[in-house]
Amino acid sequence: AQSVTQPDIHITVSEGASLELRCNYSYGATPYLFWYVQSPGQGLQLLLKYFSGDTLVQGIKGFEAEFKRSQSSFNLRKPSVHWSDAAEYFCAVNTGTASKLTFGTGTRLQVTL
Amino acid sequence: EPEVTQTPSHQVTQMGQEVILRCVPISNHLYFYWYRQILGQKVEFLVSFYNNEISEKSEIFDDQFSVERPDGSNFTLKIRSTKLEDSAMYFCASSLRGLTNSPLHFGNGTRLTVT
3-state SS, chain B, equals CCCCEEECCEEEECCCCCEEEEEECCCCCCEEEEEEECCCCCEEEEEEEECCEEEEECCCCCCCEEEECCCCCCEEEEECCCCHHHCEEEEEEEECCCCCCCCCEECCCEEEEEC
**Cα–Cα distance for residue pair A59/B102, rounded to 1 Å:** 15
Is B91 in CB contact (< 8 Å) with chain A? yes
Cross-chain Cβ contact A44/B91 below 8 Å = yes
* B97 against B57, higher pLDDT: B57
Q: Is B65 on the interface with A (CB under 8 A)?
A: no
The residues pairing with A14 across neighbouring beta strands, listed in sequence order, are A112
The string of pLDDT tens digits covering residues A4-32 is 999 999 999 999 999 999 999 988 777 88
pLDDT tens-digit map of A53-74: 899 999 999 999 999 999 999 9
Comparing CB atoms, the residue among A36, A44, A99 nearest residue B98 is A99
Q: Report helix, strand or coil for A99.
A: coil
* Cβ proximity of A6 and A23 under 8 Å: yes
Tens of pLDDT, residue by residue over B18-38, are 999 999 999 999 999 999 999
